[in-house]
A and B are shown apart, each in its own frame.
Chain A
């Protein structure tokens, strides 16, 4: 019952957020410089053709009318037609979204597994060379531009060793290099958060009691300390995963990975407003859902946390 009440409240807030998002998206068409019709038509198109395209895009209509159209389309389950391709926006997003999801999930898994492990290791081995190494790896991971890392991974694993494909999504192991590229900075971030959180928790009284009880260190660390140390980690993972859902643009560009990020950039560069609006709207929904799930996860990890409406 409490949960249902909580969910209800969150849903109402989410709806208000989404309305705000749509307003901004519609305003965007008026505020951003650049004439979509000329961009899409190209330099050589005559002014008559450009005018025709401009008219068909309906961008000269007032903000409220455009807002109304967007909502009306939404209620019919469609997000309009791409000005660049002439194809339905929903179809294009539906084609690209699975790839972004795949990259986000795999990258995050790598981040969680190795990030938590390294973070725990560094915390448990605090003051030794292990901690220094993990810390250094963390700094490297965060500082390395993903573009550069991606190109290096390609050169080593795809061109020199020929173990993996260079780019694209056409084979089963095409996901490996992109996921690693995305995962590396996640590992760095998550290991640092886990490390500091673990150190904090390991110093708590209840951990000392567990040790004093005579339990093995392994039990103290994994069964008792880690669970509590995970709360900030969940926050970070939730945020990072949510961001990845918007498409890891740089990774997608380097690897030719056909995700939503690439589509967003192409659409922005073409001033394809219907597509940009559709992508941002879908992303907003996904981000809201991820946030709700993250909040719920807290209660799973720590029963003391209660969901407040």
Chain B
């Protein structure tokens, strides 16, 4: 059955076996030759148009980001990733600088009434939207009312519901009337949901009042297009009121895999990437063609304990677990140095933050406290997300390891994010974890959002205060502090609240996660804001 030399006489001088081999080789090569044009037919796929040639500068800045944008409508935005992109094109009354402090943007100054319930904003003059329309108080009013309109899906609307009415006093003056004082509101107005689109644009380019797919703002870059799952493109706005950026085009490439983003940076296909693989940080830092930014953020990672369930209803037990975990070691070995140990329930950078205390690594003290509380060996279930926060499951396993050393056996359980979220927001009697990992980040850098995680009205299933913690004194201090117009008294109230919470230890206070970016060392001028946002608008090639 195998092919041997045939006994057929041949008229060619070449021996039959050789002839067969030649024929087979020729067939193979012929097939390859046919395949190439076939594959070429496959490669006449999609292309993107090159940078807008009519823009002044033809240079392009490419950023590789990790997640697809769920929306480009400022009012509907809820993820930091989408907000960061939208921010290139739209602006609000105020903006946060790289320290997280409020700066003027479309409002040049503002006055707060004595009782704190009226805010008057003086608007910047001569500002144009990217469609040529003038920015006026009427446009601002339209946008804020749209944000407050409950027929619009706006998951981040809550901080603004304190506004009872918006008035365009004249073309350049905007008045906000509040139901109660809200000292953090001016800061909140710097957030993406409160940024402005041109009212005229709401009926063009596929936009509807309910859903904006083409945002037209006042920012330095104009939104050009968004291809779902692929990229978002912005081009320089030549009539921008402020300092013009360098790059003519900014492209956000959506690349879910961290290793691939890293390859894009190393090959030059991307100028900047977010969240490189933690394991490769050392190499990246040593690479002279790459610059790594390791900046603090307000993303607070903690282990919420079920404060209503024995033995976690005993403060000594909760404090013991805080002493049991060596946070510095986990940060160094598992997070590659990309976090800061927590010293308060609020992270540095949030308004009202003050240092509340310290729980240094002290397993002996932990064991002593557990003994005092009358707790012997303990078996618990520790819930953790996977691939949601940086090195989350690995850190949870490390925490479990430390707990085992003080007599607490923790079984780590994980599941996909939506199921995990459902588990931790289940009613008290249905909770399946004794403690679980969670991360909070207030994108508006306001204290209220962070405190929400510790208030009884937000206990599951209503909302996300998943530690079922409450302390009447803390509740009073927070209620008073958040509406206090006297900055000193407010800071004092909120600081005292933090110290009490720290002592109560409803969580194992872990760390605040840094924001990691890597960019080409040929570029400079990239900054970050502590709310996990990056800013490349001032980026330019190194001279």
Contacts and interface: CB of A to CB of B under 8 A. Distances in A.
B47 A171 contact: yes
Nearest to B438: A43
Interface in B119-143: none
Interface stretch (B71-79, B196-204, B337-345, B364-372): B71-79
Contacts of B76: 86
A109 B39 contact: yes
A39 B213 contact: no
A149 to B, nearest CB: 13
B427 interface: no
Contact of A167 (B156, B264, B268): B264
A168 interface: yes
Nearest to B6: A217
B28 interface: yes
A101 B255 CA distance: 20
Given A52-B150, A85-B70, A105-B42, A42 B79 contact: yes
Contacts of A49: 154-158
Interface string A43-82: 1111111101100100000000000000000000000000
Nearest to A171: B47
A170 interface: yes
Interface stretch (B178-186, B223-231, B502-510, B518-526): B223-231
Contact of B230 (A34, A124, A166, A258): A258
Interface stretch (A90-98, A187-195, A295-303): A90-98
Nearest to A157: B267
Contact of A85 (B2, B31, B71, B210): B71
A102 B158 contact: no
A217 B22 CA distance: 13
A256 interface: yes
Contacts of A102: 42, 45-46
Contacts of B67: 266
Interface in B1-50: 1-3, 6, 8, 20, 23-24, 27-28, 31-32, 35, 38-39, 42-48
B23 A218 contact: yes
Contacts of A151: 259-260, 263
A162 interface: yes
Interface string B416-453: 11110111010000000000001011110000010010
B194 to A, nearest CB: 15
Interface in A3-40: 33-36, 38-40
Nearest to A218: B23
Categorize the interface residue count of chain A.
Answer: 35 or more
Q: Which of B23, B24, B440 has the most CB of A within 10 A?
A: B24
Contacts of A86: 71, 73, 76, 153, 210-211
A299 B5 CA distance: 35
A216 B421 contact: no
Task: Determine chain A's interface SS by DSSP, over half rule.
Answer: helix
Given A85-B71, A87-B213, A256-B257, A168 B47 contact: no
A174 interface: yes
B5 to A, nearest CB: 10
A173 interface: yes
Interface residues of B, number: 79
Given A105-B42, A169-B45, A39 B417 contact: yes
B460 to A, nearest CB: 10
A44 B156 contact: yes
Contacts of B2: 126-127
Contact of B42 (A124, A175, A221, A256): A175
A87 B211 contact: yes
B380 interface: no
B449 to A, nearest CB: 5
B462 interface: yes
A254 B423 CA distance: 30
B254 interface: yes
A262 B229 contact: yes
Given A102-B46, A221-B3, 9 more contacts: A38-B425, A40-B70, A109-B38, A169-B45, A170-B48, A170-B253, A255-B260, A258-B229, A263-B228
Interface of B: 1-3, 6, 8, 20, 23-24, 27-28, 31-32, 35, 38-39, 42-48, 64, 67-68, 70-71, 73, 76, 78-79, 150, 153-158, 210-211, 213, 227-231, 253-257, 259-261, 263-264, 266-269, 416-419, 421-423, 425, 438, 440-443, 449, 452, 458, 462-464
Nearest 8 pairs between A and B by C-beta? A34-B418, A258-B229, A106-B42, A41-B155, A256-B255, A45-B155, A46-B158, A258-B230
18 contacts: A44-B452, A49-B157, A86-B210, A102-B45, A106-B42, A124-B24, A151-B259, A151-B260, A166-B263, A167-B257, A170-B46, A170-B231, A172-B43, A258-B230, A262-B229, A266-B68, A269-B416, A270-B418
